[in-house]
Amino acid sequence: MIDLADIRIAVVGLGYVGLPLAVEFAKRRPVVGFDVSGERIEALKSGIDVNLETTAQELSRARHLRFTNSAEDLAGCNCYIITVPTPISEDKQPDLTLLFEASKTVGGLLRPGDLVIYESTVYPGATEEDCVPILERVSGLTFNTDFYCGYSSERINPGDKKHRLPDIKKVTSGSTPQVADLVDALYREIITAGTHRAESIRVAEAAKVIENTQRDLNIALINELALIFNRIGLDTEAVLKAAESKWNFQSYRPGLVGGHCIGVDPYYLTHKAQAIGHNPEVILAGRRINDAMAAHVVTQLVKQMATRDIPVNGAKVLVMGFTFKENCPDIRNTKVVDIVEELLEYQCKVDVFDPWVNDGHAQREYGIDVIDEPDEGAYDAIILAVAHDQFRQMGADALRRLGKANHVIYDLKYILGRQDADLRL
């Protein structure tokens, strides 16, 4: 097993998770940042992070960091940290394709004594049961004899400038007690908030998926409450503010649940549960509620338009915001796309406006064009889908001017006061 002082890191995957990790480690030791995208590598070499998680100044300070899209350039490394995405498929099953491909790449480079650390979200057991056999097969080496593994789940919150990588406590683990100590010591070099050394890799994997499953279920409860309150004519925000006056009431808001974590991680846990013969009823019920919210929003909007004598077929609708959360360019698993697709089924003409989103990216990922600016006075309905600061700063009057004389504003994110919106969740 390698010594802490001799570790030479390769970070495999330079997205929202990998790049900040590579930058932090490169302030202290040699790091090679690897990504299969040549376009991504060229941008990073020019000091540009299109995800806006690191600045050009931060990249320049990481003086020990080299970028490459050639696996051959990783040959001098002995610690491989894999941070590739682990999404879900269309039928909501774990898609580990990128993780397995990364494991094959690393397996081809492994030498005796090397360490492989996984940060990608997986179900409990995936590292040792699914990834390690790939490493062994490709490398010809034996696990826990010739090479070792660790797991330290990512906790990156895209767009959050307050809680950044060094400020978020890190869970660490290793395939042997000695490896666990080494992995923990390595991360303590960069995590000022401290670490939690889990007793096994499987414990660390499970901790990751339940963190976001818990949040998913809490939001599902609030979403169901919003459905109930809508039916009985109560303002959900008013009810929640009243409930928050009790010291131990947990504060959540209704809305769309997408993104790379909350809308995805529960399916990794339910997959494992079903594989061992358990039907995870509560978790799947929460997922069904949250996945159905876009359809509920459009149904409410259509009913309100009908009461205003606004024809739905051919109506021009402006959807403001396309990212999965406010003030970041991340469109991974955004549920705003579900709203757009529902509106198109009603034969609406939909404009999507989001100053944070690159039009080409939205087109490649979802086949949706993002407009540069909305047309004033052009819309029969406006949906405030994401609470970007730019939208909050516009105010009710400016937003109203985007609509026709007779129009509906649906405020999903409580950007406006109750009196300024026609509909709220």
User: Residue 31, SS3?
Assistant: strand
CA 127/CA 100 separation, integer angstroms: 10
77 is catalytic: no
Residue among 79, 261, 328, 348 flagged as catalytic: 261
What's the chain look like in SS3? CCCHHHCCEEEECCCCCHHHHHHHHCCCCCEEEECCCHHHHHHHHCCCCCCCCCCHHHHHHCCCEEEECCHHHHCCCCEEEECCCCCECCCCCECCHHHHHHHHHHHCCCCCCCEEEECCCCCCCHHHHHHHHHHHHHHCCCECCCEEEEECCCCCCCCCCCCCHHHCCEEECECCHHHHHHHHHHHHCCCCCCEEECCCHHHHHHHHHHHHHHHHHHHHHHHHHHHHHHHHCCCHHHHHHHHCCCCCCCCCCCCCCCCCCCCCHHHHHHHHHHHCCCCCHHHHHHHHHHHCHHHHHHHHHHHHHHHCCCCCCCCEEEEECCCCCCCCCCCCCCCHHHHHHHHHHCCCEEEEECCCCCHHHHHHHHCCCEECCCCCCCEEEEEECCCCHHHHHHHHHHHHHCEEEEEEEEECCCCCCHHHCCEEC
Q: Identify residue 175 by its one-letter amino acid code.
A: S
Element (H, E) at 151: strand 148-151
Provide DSSP, 374-397. Answer: PPTT-EEEEEE-S--HHHHHHHHH
Backbone angles phi, psi at 79, to 5 degrees: -135, 115
* Through-space distance between the first and last CA atoms of the chain, rounded to whole angstroms: 55
Structure tokens belonging to residue 99: 């993780």
Q: Which residues are catalytic?
A: 261
